[in-house]
Structure 1
């Protein structure tokens, strides 16, 4: 009986590894993409913080520049109330009474204490 011999050219190689198809990108591409996304995020944070600081500075300066106007409005309101009180006092009493010894306007001071609030 003749012995079986390998075919001419030899046998095909034995497949011992799993033949799983590659899905997705190489890990290097994911790493580069992640770094690009993070770089963009840090860029937006950097300029967002800068914008927030600039808006806060602008808000502070606008309040500083508005203070004289608001103080003038408050002064006008105080004077209007003062003259209205004087007119009401003259109407009720018939004469002008002076509380102070000068004609200079004195800003009224009203302090609320806990005993005043309870009444």
Structure 2
């Protein structure tokens, strides 16, 4: 039975030198930066963020200082404005009192109700 139909039988054999080795390992290309590069990037971003926070803190400190000094310099102006307002209101109050009490004999408009010569500001303001 070595022949089939008159043709010589040829057995299928491997090629001379053998087959190529079978590649069974995964051959994936390296994608993206390595771990050290990622760590260095995160460290750089955090360092920049902390630097910006420090700069913002310095700016806020300077703004608070400027606000405090502007208030310190405005206090005399605000006190003078308040004094002018109190004076104007007291003058108007005395004028109203004179008008209301004009028919009462021996009434002194604007006279202090306290028995002292010291200035005592009124405890409330009539608008």
Short-chain TM bin: 0.7 to 0.9
**Aligned 1:1-119 pairs, distance under 5 A:** 7=17, 12-94=20-102, 96-97=108-109, 98-99=111-112, 100=114, 105-110=119-124
- What TM-score comes out, normalization by structure 1 length? 0.74
1:116 corresponds in structure 2 to none
Aligned residues: 107
- Which structure 1 residue ranges, 5 or more long, are not aligned? 111-119
Q: Which has the higher contact order (CA 8 A, sep 6+)?
A: 2
Cα pair distance change 1:53/1:43, threshold 3 Å: same
- What TM-score comes out, normalization by structure 2 length? 0.70
Q: Whose helix proportion is higher, 1 or 2?
A: 1
Q: Secondary structure at the match of 1:56?
A: helix
> Quick check: 12-21 or 30-39, which moved more?
12-21
**What value does the CA root-mean-square deviation take over the aligned residues?**
2.5
Q: Deviations over 1:14-52 (max 9, x none)?
A: 434211122111222111111111111011000001111
Tell me the distance in 2 between the aligned counterparts of 1:54 and 1:66: 18
- Which structure 2 residue ranges, 5 or more long, are not aligned? 1-13
Tell me the distance in 2 between the aligned counterparts of 1:39 and 1:61: 33
